[in-house]
Amino acid sequence: MARGVRIFDTTLRDGEQTPRVAFSPAQKAEIAAALDSLGVDAIEAGFPVVSAGEHEAVSAIAAAGLRADVYGLARSTRRDVDAIVDAGLSCVHTFIATSAIHARDKLGMSEEAILGAAIDAVEYAKSRGLDVEFSAEDATRSDRAYLRRVYSAAAGAGADRVNIPDTTGYSTPEHMAGLVREVSEAAGVPVSVHCHNDFGLATANTLAGIAAGAASAHVTVNGIGERAGNASLEEVVTALEFLDPEATGAGGHPRSGPRGVTRVRTRRIYDVSRLVSRMARVQVQHNKAIVGENAFGHESGIHTHGIVKNPLTYESLDPRLVGRKRWFAAGKHAGTHGVERTLSEYGLSPSASELAAILERVKGLGDSGANVSDMQVVTMAAEAMGREPPRRMVRLRELDVSTSAGQTPHAYVKLAIGDADHGATASGVGPVDASLAAIQEIVGGIYETRIADYAINAVSGGSDALCEVTVKVEDARGNAARARSVGEDIVVTSVQAVIDGINEIALRRGAERAAAPRRAGRAARRRPHA
């Protein structure tokens, strides 16, 4: 595998072109800082010529003193290049389309006119002191001989790098590899690849391009972007750093640390993924590689048995290397080992017969089509073991929501936490947001929790439909709880789901506190006497 691969992140430019996604200047600045801390080599901050707000956002990032190179996008016009300089940038990514369909139906330009515009833009950008990366838009559908001419001319005009955009996701790994070799020979400067995911091949095409000699990969966090998105940072980087199938096939094991192919700090990947998801308001699909909710989740009894014995049986990547934790789900496919491991996290150690009874109830609930939460498993265990059911440390006492047209919604929430009542008022973009903000104000300082994920679905039709709310609640210690509630009122149902998640966190933390003296005692007994 190649070493020293340059990671060019375009979340703030191509990622922001995701339908219905728009970042404010403040959000762009926060994401840029997170990307810089993550260790990407280049950040495409935006397209400064398109609006005053975009110019402001790009200028702020340019002035932020980031370690990464900060780029702005520019068409092959002097006006666009001037906007790059005016924004305080020192790097430009300039482009012009080269495919016949774009030349004829979009640009209305001849091949020679396109070639001349590309050369002029690169020469002008260099005359303004800019580092230049040149792209032939829709390269993978362009005539190969003409494409070689364009890239050769751009390099001759002074381009520091040339980029191959698979603009419509039309390439295959074999095609991309061949194109990289051709362009590298024609241009004689470092080559980048920029792959879209229309056929689900963006990551594969990117890796094939790098294997063929590309020095740089254009990526976005969570793979966001136009249509089906772009090559995702988390997939490309983790593949470069950790995939080693030849060693594994020869009896080796998954890597215990990154190769150092990139400069990305892989343990920060998940935090950046969540930041971008929250600010873009684009939920990451649960089965998304690396950063999806289920990427390191296990339910099947066969799998959990293997994982408990040795995680390498069913994991090719240690979740901690990308900032994740593995977790076990209870359901119809669950087995003894997974349920036992879940209960151990709550300080419960049922006997073999008790565990069998608990598992039977879990499977029965799963067979009915229900999602089984940890709290339900713990409650079943308490009943099977003849114990009192777990106490709900957080209970809803009062919920009062005020909203009307043209006014900001407000919510007052009173919670009983232990034996004391706590109340708070908060505003939000809607009644649900206001209610959850009030809960966060109450419990944030007590349990250090935050709502990491929220989803709602209608489970019946009509205006009186039942709604199903699913949430993920996390605390500062890395504990995570997944809770679900069904009801007629979206606000009450949302509040109840979040409270259930907080109670699960509280229960787990109580088990951790109870286990701490036992661990300390065992450690003391193991220490040799003087």
Locate the domains of the chain by residue range: 6-251, 297-384, 394-516
Gap between the Cα atoms of 298 and 224, Å rounded: 26
Gap between the Cα atoms of 248 and 243, Å rounded: 9
Helix, strand, coil distribution of the chain in percent, nearest 5: 45, 20, 35
Place of tokens 């094939």: 208
Q: Which residues contact 393 (CB under 8 A, 6 or more apart)?
A: 417, 418, 503, 506, 507, 510
pLDDT tens for 83-115 read: 999 999 999 999 999 999 999 999 999 999 999
Question: Contact 6/42 with Cβ under 8 angstroms?
Answer: yes
Gap between the Cα atoms of 352 and 207, Å rounded: 48
Q: Tell me what pLDDT residue 431 has.
A: 95
Question: Contact 278/22 with Cβ under 8 angstroms?
Answer: no
Q: Which residues contact 482 (CB under 8 A, 6 or more apart)?
A: 373, 374, 470, 471, 472, 501
At position 94, the amino acid (one-letter code) is: T
Q: Which residues contact 95 (CB under 8 A, 6 or more apart)?
A: 73, 74, 75, 76, 134, 135, 136, 137, 163, 165
Question: Contact 28/10 with Cβ under 8 angstroms?
Answer: no
Question: Contact 406/415 with Cβ under 8 angstroms?
Answer: no
- Select from 442, 437, 433, 431 the least CA-distant residue to 400: 431
* Pairing status of strand 449-458 against strand 420-427: unpaired
Six token digits for residue 139:
């390269």
Gap between the Cα atoms of 11 and 441, Å rounded: 31
Give the N- to C-terminal CA distance of the chain in Å, as an integer.
53
Question: Contact 47/75 with Cβ under 8 angstroms?
Answer: no
CA 504 to chain centre: 24
- The backbone torsions φ and ψ at residue 90, rounded to the nearest 5 degrees and listed phi first, read -115, 0
DSSP annotation of 529: P
pLDDT tens for 458-517 read: 776 666 678 889 899 998 888 888 888 889 899 999 999 999 999 989 988 887 776 655
CA dihedral 383, 370, 456, 405 (to 10 degrees): -70
Q: Tell me what pLDDT residue 160 has.
A: 99
Q: In what order do the strands lie in the sheet with 467-475?
A: 449-458, 467-475, 480-487
Domain 6-251, CATH homologous superfamily name and number? Aldolase class I (3.20.20.70)
Which fold would CATH assign to domain 394-516? Double Stranded RNA Binding Domain (3.30.160)
- Tell me the three state secondary structure of residue 14: coil
Six token digits for residue 472:
């993920």
Q: Which residues contact 115 (CB under 8 A, 6 or more apart)?
A: 149, 150, 153
Q: Tell me what pLDDT residue 249 has.
A: 52
At position 112, the amino acid (one-letter code) is: E
Name 226's bridge partners.
none
- pTM, two decimals, is 0.84
Per-residue pLDDT of the chain (530 residues; tens, 9 = 90+): 446 999 999 999 999 999 999 999 999 999 999 999 999 999 999 999 999 999 999 999 999 999 999 999 999 999 999 999 999 999 999 999 999 999 999 999 999 999 999 999 999 999 999 999 999 999 999 999 999 999 999 999 999 999 999 999 999 999 999 999 999 999 999 999 999 999 999 999 999 999 999 999 999 999 999 999 999 999 999 999 999 776 655 455 567 889 999 999 999 999 999 999 999 999 899 999 999 988 998 877 778 778 878 888 888 899 999 999 888 777 778 888 888 888 888 888 999 999 999 888 888 878 887 777 888 888 888 889 988 888 889 999 999 999 888 889 999 999 999 889 999 999 999 999 999 999 999 998 888 898 888 888 877 666 667 888 989 999 888 888 888 888 989 999 999 999 999 998 998 888 777 665 555 555 555 555 54
